[in-house]
Amino acid sequence: MTENYRGCYEYLSAQFEQVGGYDFYRELFPDNELYGVKYDDFSHPSAVYLYQGEDERLHRRKMYHDTWEQDYTEFVEQNPLTLCSGLVYRRNKNRLEHAQRMNALIFDLDGVGIGELRNLFLRFDGDPKRVRRLPMPTFLVLSGNGLHLYYVFKGPIDLYPNIKVQLKSLKYDLTFRIWEYKGTSQLKAIQYQSINQGFRMVGSINAKYGTELVAFRTGERVTLDYLNAYAIKPENRVDINKPFHPSRMTRAQAKEAYPEWYQRVVIEGNKRKKKWDIAGKVHGDDPYALYHWWLRQIGSIEGGHRYFYLMCLAIYAYKCDVPKQQLRQDMRTAF
């Protein structure tokens, strides 16, 4: 157990209600679908989480409303690695393209001790026009050496394509405002994360520090207007009245402007995203040159950015058609 964890736990437990993991996710995702029931109208998108199985591999599982109590005990509680975002999905995979609604906007703040935690509460819920004021989170979760800040919405946010882009901008803006070296964090480097980022789940164990993730209710549910008010730049605020801008190009115009795309998608019916021909652009005899270049950057990765490094490694592996077995082996070797 770290000194940061111990100090923050004593501070929070003396003032706020602790919420167990089972109840935490019941409140966060109240409308998960029932096991075995099919909803053809996508009226019950569900949370999807990852958990470490007995084979020490990560497995993906949908969060069902009627089996959650048993599933939480079996797959999440005291598990050394479980991950869940604040989004719900219309399919069984937690891909951003399948995300239908956002129930909570979550921020990761590493390097938080008792001093940084006190600074946060001095800044929470003040006038957003004043410097360093921050929105009050619905929950604070102790993650091991820092905090996860959960802003749970009063009503889920529909994730139209354009809204996803806007929410990303809002999250980056607020991350910059929340993360201040020597003010709210002991770390210099800010971690910017996607809206689809998975976080260690409440009730599970952070094996790195040997600590249990615990949640405290610190505030009320929020609205987009409330969070928008704290955005540093007005252009980073989310406007739900502009959810989607459909193309005004006709099919005939698209055929003339993008003949290759038209042939592949409209004529052949292949709607899969086209991959870059990385190997064809390599100057030399190594088709994995880009992947191997990133692999060599391991020595320059800063603390707290390991997951980002591995994410990029997986992306380059996919782009360069590196075999999955080789990727897994390189990941184990890197860390």
CB 46 within 8 A of CB 63: yes
118-146 pLDDT tens trace:
999 999 998 999 988 999 999 999 998 89
- Give 32-37's long-range contacts (Cβ < 8 A, gap of 24+): 32/62, 32/63, 32/64, 32/65, 32/68, 32/88, 33/62, 33/64, 33/65, 34/64, 34/65, 34/66, 35/64, 35/65, 35/66, 35/67
- Asked if residues 54 and 87 have their Cβ atoms less than 8 Å apart, the reply is no
The model's confidence at residue 298, banded by pLDDT at 50, 70 and 90, is confident
pLDDT, the chain, mean: 91
Overall average pLDDT of the 242-268 stretch: 84
> What pLDDT does 300 receive?
79
What H or E segment, with its residue span, contains residue 167? helix 161-178
Share of the chain above pLDDT 70, in %: 96
- Of 115-129, 168-182, 293-307, the range with the lowest mean pLDDT is 293-307
Dist. CA 70–CA 52, nearest whole Å: 16
| 163 vs 245: which has the higher pLDDT | 163
Residue 183: exposure state from Cβ atoms within 10 A (0-12, 13-18, ≥19):
middle
Each residue of 194-220: pLDDT tens digit? 999 999 999 999 998 999 999 999 999
- Report pLDDT for 11: 96
Quickly state the pLDDT bin for 227 (edges 50, 70, 90).
very high
Answer whether residue 16 shows pLDDT above 90: yes
pLDDT of residue 241: 83
What global pTM score does this model have? 0.76
Lowest pLDDT segment from 220-224, 274-278, 319-323? 274-278
Assess whether pLDDT exceeds 80 at residue 286. yes
